[in-house]
Chain A
Amino acid sequence: MTPVIQTRALTKRYGRRTALHGIDLTIEPGRVFGVIGPNGAGKTTTMRVLLDIIRATSGEVRVLGADPRTAGPDLRRRIGYLPGELALEGRATAHGLLRHYAELSGPVAVGRIEQLSERLGLDLGRPVRSLSKGNKQKVGLVQAFMHDPELLVLDEPTSGLDPLVQQEFLTMVREARDAGRTVFLSSHVISEIQQAADDVAVLRAGRIVDVSTVDRLRAAARRSVRVTVRPDARDALLARLGALPHLEELRYEESDGTVTIHGELGDGVAAFVAAVAVSEPLDLVVQEPDLESAVLGFYGTLGEEGDR
């Protein structure tokens, strides 16, 4: 099968600054492909090249079998794009603006805009400039999905959305995939990638440092853990936890007749929970690993050499 997106040695320079150092990316049809990386890693730049908003300095880019630089508007009608820095202004209502984009990239099925808006809880009658960030993001999602494109390119799609709407968004992504569409999305939140994506690429400072599955990446991520026990269980628990190979920075504090133990856990959640369970914990918190720690944990300590 022809890949939906394929880049080879994709490089983008702004003057002396290099934003992309030769990106090789292959995304097969019907997949949800996530790219994660800290701000400035090159996620947005890569997506903008796919949409021909900016032009590569060198390298090859194929999107749906065509070169975006020369394919023209017909190619972009087959793509739904949500910009990472979504700006919506003007006196037009959300509905008016969406109709305008539908004219540019349609056809759009009758009732489709209303149906998507209702799913996301978007009031179409209000002027876009008066909408909150979350509601603007919903407008952005509707315009990306409304013409049922073959390829969705979504830059930080859940930014500003409340958790319920995020769930609805994830459902929309799954539906698109089940209908044979391909989704390329970016995030700096690992939980979002984990829930949405089949494959994941880690981007850092303009380079792809790994292409992997979500499970493998997640296992390597460090997460903060906190367990509260009775004082008499403290020493035995500390001893068991100290024996776990992926648990670091152990420390504890006492207050109100309980002991709270903190630590940073890498791989081995099951072993950690087993070790804690014996002590009959009063409370247990395993925090979501964030991308920063996932990437740092995966590749050792990496300095802030990120550029856009």
Chain B
Amino acid sequence: MTTMTVRRPLPLLRRVLADSWRGLIGWSLGLAGVVGMYLPLYSTIGGNPEFLAIIESLPPELVAALSYDQITTGAGYTQGTVHGLIGFVLVTIAAVGWGSSIIAGDDERGTLELTLAHGVDRTQLVLERFGAIALKLLALATLLALMVLALNEPAALELSVEGIVAGSVSLLGLGLLTAAVGTMTGAIVGRRSLAVGAAAGVAVLGYALNALGNQNPDLEWLHALSPYFWAYGAEPLANGFDGLMGLLYAVAAVAVVVAVLAFRRRDVAV
């Protein structure tokens, strides 16, 4: 009997990508738009004496929370506007949506049952689908790095290539951690709303703990609990790679392992 081509590698990963490449293009356009809008303004905002006067007139707590105390350097400006703010928000929203949909969303829609009834192992399902998210986040992080690289000279940001790459790697780690928490929660409980809540909660809490920790030395210990601080506390755009950001990847990996173990044990479609 002649048979059609079967068992090409990574069928579930390819399926996620085939189903969601349109969405990824949307996120890419959004990210590119934000970066292309903010970074060229550095010379008129970040280095502008009048703008500095405005910042000095702001409450110091607010300036610390937004990390605007570094805004006079190209690295500080890029961090304060893109990696630490709008880019962070975009990547977080994408990661929350993707992470909560691959298991919990699929289970709630009722479509997960049929996939699992086919020749699929549950470990394989979690790893391939999370792998697809990782690829999509990598695409966004790569796009961000290329955009910053392209605008580095025209906008006089004076960033090093290592700093640009490190900034993207930090944001990628943050996105992976957020998506992994959503995946893990979905694997445990199968409810999309809870998965979204947990993933978004970790991202928001991380931002809040970092902002609080910036306020005064007595609160600095909060930084240790903040994924946002793990990503940006060592100022990767200015200083390049640092071991701290490795924590993001380590915690994300642990969350994926927990997701696999939980999902292997759980009833689906109940």
Q: Which residues of A contact B (CB under 8 A)?
A: 14, 48, 51-55, 72-74, 76-77, 79, 81, 83, 85-92, 96, 100-110, 140, 143
Contact = CB atoms under 8 A, between A and B. Distances in A.
Interface in B1-17: 1-4, 6-8, 11-12, 15
A109 B270 CA distance: 34
A89 B1 contact: no
Nearest to A101: B118
B268 A105 contact: no
B218 interface: no
Interface stretch (B30-38, B44-52, B106-114, B131-139): B106-114
B109 A110 contact: no
B186 to A, nearest CB: 16
Contact of B3 (A79, A107, A140): A107
Contacts of B7: 103, 106
B117 A108 contact: no
A100 B3 contact: no
B118 A104 contact: yes
Given A87-B110, A110-B4, A143-B114, A105 B267 contact: no
B225 to A, nearest CB: 35
Contacts of B115: 101, 104
B121 interface: yes
A54 B4 contact: no
Contacts of B118: 73, 76-77, 81, 101, 104-105
Interface string B46-76: 0000000000000000000000000000000
Given A73-B121, A81-B114, 17 more contacts: A48-B269, A51-B117, A53-B117, A55-B265, A73-B118, A73-B119, A76-B117, A77-B119, A83-B110, A85-B110, A91-B22, A101-B118, A102-B4, A104-B12, A105-B118, A105-B119, A107-B3
A102 B119 contact: no
B221 to A, nearest CB: 41
B267 A55 contact: yes
B161 interface: no
Nearest to B6: A106
A54 B119 CA distance: 16
Contact of A109 (B3, B116, B120, B124): B3
Question: A54, A77, A140 — which one has the most chain B CB atoms within 10 A of its CB?
Answer: A54
Contact of A108 (B3, B19, B110, B113): B3
A53 B1 CA distance: 31
A108 B268 contact: no
A82 to B, nearest CB: 9
Question: B19, B114, B116, B270 — which one has the most chain A CB atoms within 10 A of its CB?
Answer: B114
A143 B119 CA distance: 12
Given A54-B270, A143-B114, A107 B119 contact: no
B36 to A, nearest CB: 29
Contacts of A110: 2-4
A92 B14 CA distance: 13
A109 B1 contact: yes
Contacts of B110: 83, 85-87
